[in-house]
């Protein structure tokens, strides 16, 4: 589905009061200093979080799994995951501590220290941009890094994938999204962080990095196609990483996931 940002914003605005439009940051651009806008288009905050959640369900996520979210931001996805998962199963890493706490207050209605929801669900958080995932103290069943590799240079992307691999056991599933380009000339060659700018990589680049870590890389489609006003398509391509060849579990079959849409990268 091709998404027209202006039409999506106007449709969203039409259902809100003027006070809600302001408090939800609806008219702010992605990357703005607001808990919803900082992590993407504020008028898509609900949809994008729900799409991520549904995608992980399609991959077989159950409430007993241990889950690591890299770049948990203002809990756009995390608020849904924590509600679904059993206590002490959710781990979130976010470098922007101020934005994270703003998300906690606005989404959960209290500070991290005062939230009954946090006390009930017992999540674990870490604030770092070094891809240090020691907070999980071992391995996890699922990992998601949404729109991280669309802002990380070559060395940073390699470090991201290396760190993800370090917390994967034999049956873990990781999903790292990136902006896909076809031409090698368009694939990023520089190191460093790029935000709010976006960069792209070829499938072959991502596959090569995965193979170097002994991982098998698969790709599939993301249902919402985003196109910026300057013409850049910023749709995220989900890169699914496993240690063993893909085989749908009972949970995945039950979810109705289109297995044929998952294609191994070579």
Is the dihedral angle over the CA atoms 45, 49, 50, 52 positive or is it negative?
positive
Comparison of pLDDT for 149 and 256, the residue scoring more: 149
46-212+223-259 CATH fold = Rossmann fold (3.40.50)
Distances (CA, A) of 160 to 52, 68, 91, 256: 19, 13, 16, 30
Residue 262: per-residue pLDDT: 66
Ranges of each domain in the chain: 46-212+223-259
pLDDT for the residue 1 = 46
Q: Is pLDDT of 265 > 90? A: no
Tens of pLDDT, residue by residue over 150-183, are 999 999 999 999 999 999 999 999 999 999 888 8
3-state secondary structure 25-92: CCCCCCCCCCCCHHHCCHHHHHHHHHHHHHHHHHCCCCCCCCEEEECCCCCCCHHHHHHHCCCCCEEE
Q: What is the pLDDT of residue 30?
A: 87
For residues 172 and 68, the answer to whether their CB atoms sit within 8 Å is: no
Percent of the chain surpassing pLDDT 90: 72
d(Cα 71, Cα 150) in Å, to the nearest integer?
A: 12
Is residue 219 predicted with pLDDT exceeding 50?
yes
Alpha helix ranges (H) inside 126-249:
154-166, 203-212
Rounded Cα distance between 134 and 91, Å, is 10
**Separation between Cα atoms, residue 81 and residue 125, nearest integer Å:** 14
What is the separation of C-alpha 4 from the centre of its chain, rounded to a whole number of angstroms? 21
pTM above 0.75, yes or no: yes
What is the model's pLDDT at position 248?
67
* pLDDT greater than 90 at residue 64: yes
Given this model, what pLDDT does residue 193 score?
92
Q: Which residues 6+ apart lie within 8 Å of 107 measured at CB?
A: 74, 75, 79
Query: What CA–CA distance (Å, rounded) separates 206 from 121?
Result: 34
Report the candidate in 90, 81, 96, 86 with the shortest Cα–Cα distance to residue 38: 96
For residues 58 and 145, the model is more confident at 145
CA distance 30 to 43: 10
> Using 50, 70 and 90 to split pLDDT, how confident is the model at 4?
confident
| Residue range 84-138, pLDDT digits in tens | 999 999 999 999 999 999 999 999 999 999 999 999 999 999 999 999 999 999 9
Q: In this predicted model, what pLDDT tens digit does every residue of 226-252 receive, in sequence order?
A: 555 544 555 788 899 999 987 766 666
Q: Which helix (H) or strand (E) holds 242?
A: strand 236-242
């Amino acid at each position: 589905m091709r998404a027209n940002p202006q039409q999506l914003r106007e449709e969203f605005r039409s259902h809100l009061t003027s006070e809600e439009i302001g408090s939800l940051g609806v008219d702010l651009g992605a990357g703005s200093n607001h808990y919803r806008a900082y992590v993407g288009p504020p008028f898509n905050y609900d949809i994008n979080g729900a799409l991520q959640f549904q995608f992980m369900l399609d991959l077989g996520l159950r409430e007993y799994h241990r889950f690591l979210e890299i770049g948990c931001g203002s809990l756009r996805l995390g608020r849904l995951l924590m509600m679904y998962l059993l206590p002490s199963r959710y781990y979130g890493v976010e470098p922007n501590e101020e934005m994270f706490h703003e998300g906690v207050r606005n989404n959960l209605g209290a500070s991290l220290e005062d939230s009954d929801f946090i006390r009930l669900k017992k999540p674990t958080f870490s604030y770092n941009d070094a891809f240090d995932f020691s907070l999980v103290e071992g391995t996890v069943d699922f990992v998601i890094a949404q729109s991280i590799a669309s802002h990380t240079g070559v060395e940073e992307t390699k470090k991201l994938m290396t760190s993800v691999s370090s917390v994967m056991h034999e049956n873990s599933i990781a999903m790292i999204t990136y902006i896909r380009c076809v031409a090698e000339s368009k694939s990023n060659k520089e190191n460093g962080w790029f935000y709010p700018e976006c960069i792209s990589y070829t499938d072959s680049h991502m596959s090569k990095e995965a193979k170097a870590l002994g991982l098998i890389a698969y790709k599939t489609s993301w249902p919402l196609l985003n196109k910026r006003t300057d013409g850049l398509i910023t749709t995220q391509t989900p890169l699914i990483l496993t240690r063993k060849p893909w085989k749908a579990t009972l949970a995945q079959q039950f979810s109705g996931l289109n297995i044929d849409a998952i294609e191994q990268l070579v």
